[in-house]
Homo-oligomer: A and B are copies of this chain.
Amino acid sequence: MKYLGQEFFIEKIKAKLIAKKFGTPAYCYSYSRLKENIENLQKNFKSFNPLFCFAVKSNTNKYLLNEISKFGFGADVVSMGELIRAISAGISPNKIVFSGVGKTAREIEYAINKKILLINAESKSEILQIEKIAKLKKKTINIGIRLNPNTDAKTLKEISTGKKENKFGVNEKTFLELVDYIKNSKNLNLKCLSAHIGSQILDHKPYLKMLNVLDKVIRKSNHKFEYVDLGGGMGIDYVHNNKKLNLKKYNSYIQKFLKVNSCKIIFEPGRSIIGDTAVLITNITYIKESDKKDFIILDAGMNDLMRPALYKAEHKIIPIVKKKIKSKKIYEFVGPICETTDKFLTIKNYQKLNENDLIVIYDVGAYGMSLSSNYNLRPKPIELLIHNSKIKIINKRQKLSELV
């Protein structure tokens, strides 16, 4: 994704042509970028050959899941819906881990029937529930326990998951009690310790802290874990200032950890491989001048991309055709939804825009379509996968007739 001359291209195709052919708003993924991200991750951690389980919640597109599975990826799922989707996309159940704090009996039963790799339990109650179901089925189930390492990922409060006030995982004391409990259970087989400290992490130091906590707790537990699931959380460069997570450092920390703790590492990447693969192409319906600023009213709204409204997340916005003239006014990019929160970005010194100009919103591959809704009874956008000069529709634009 880049400008060639004044025109923005996704792989070898002009974004303008995509908009003309498929309309707007349109989610466009770059296959090459996805491949590059996956291979980069695999290369950085190749010394210990981890199992990568793609975090399906970040992007549930079936076609993309299938493409990702071709690189040997499994899946991290958080609901029965995601589990069914992952399997139907061709991901092998023996590479699927099931996370989440509220798995219902029905979901646990389904996961057991499908013989997935691990159910990563998040509470004592859940472990008792799994055991109860396993007993009824006369089976022994492979599980993990999610430890809450009480590590501050120093990211947005809204997306931190590894501090003790969060609902995720159990604290050290409970963890050790549960290890003992499971040792005496005939129906549970404790295979994994899992942890996940948050999302969009760009600093490697919290990961080191987390590994130190895991190391300490494993020693105390006196249990041999076949798997250690380090979760995901690896951040991407949303602000495009080249601040990147130092994977080499993270890798060296893990190598050190593995010297004392021989186990198979599981990662649950979502955003880090899919986040920057996609842009949302959108049309400027109106430009509305006001005293202090001009509102750039787009045909994409918070229902199409929820992250700015939900997390005050900022996504870079660029015009599809570059021009040299600057606007003297502040631009506020907003959607058509009747909500004040339906706002994407406020920016100064932007290129002068006109109505019906096309723009792209960057880095929408993760938590874009998966968080979208039909609010204001707006149909969901089309999803397209671009590879070199080819365009594939990987999710049709929802029709109004399906909706009303």
Which residues of A line the B interface, CB within 8 A?
56-57, 60, 78-82, 84-85, 88, 99-104, 122-126, 129, 157-161, 164-168, 170-171, 174, 285-293, 295, 297-299, 301, 306, 309-311, 332, 334-343, 355, 370-379, 400, 403-404
Q: Is the CB of A167 within 8 A of B85?
A: no
Residues of B within 8 A of A129 (CB): 286
Contact of A297 among B159, B167, B371, B372 (CB under 8 A): B167
Q: Chain B residues with Cβ under 8 A from A104's Cβ? A: 285, 299, 336
- Please give, as numbers and ranges, the residues of chain B lying within 8 Å of A286 by CB-CB distance: 101-102, 123, 125-126, 129
Do B340 and A160 touch (CB < 8 A)? Answer: yes
How many angstroms between the C-alpha atoms of A124 and B286 in the bound complex?
9
CB contact between A288 and one of B57, B125, B287, B306 (< 8 Å): that residue: B125
On whether the beta carbons of B101 and A404 are closer than 8 Å, the reply is no
A82 to chain B, nearest CB (A): 5
Q: Check if A164 sits within 8 Å of B373, measured CB to CB.
A: no
- What's the minimum C-beta distance from A80 to chain B, rounded to whole angstroms? 6
A341 to B310, CA, bound (A): 9
Q: Indicate if the CB atoms of A339 and B159 lie closer than 8 Å.
A: yes
A103 touches B57 (CB 8 A): no
B340 and A159 form a contact (CB under 8 A) = yes
Contacts A57-B338, A80-B400 known; list 19 others, CB within 8 Å: A56-B377, A60-B377, A79-B377, A81-B378, A84-B404, A99-B338, A100-B337, A101-B288, A101-B336, A102-B286, A102-B298, A103-B336, A123-B286, A123-B295, A124-B288, A129-B286, A164-B291, A167-B340, A371-B375
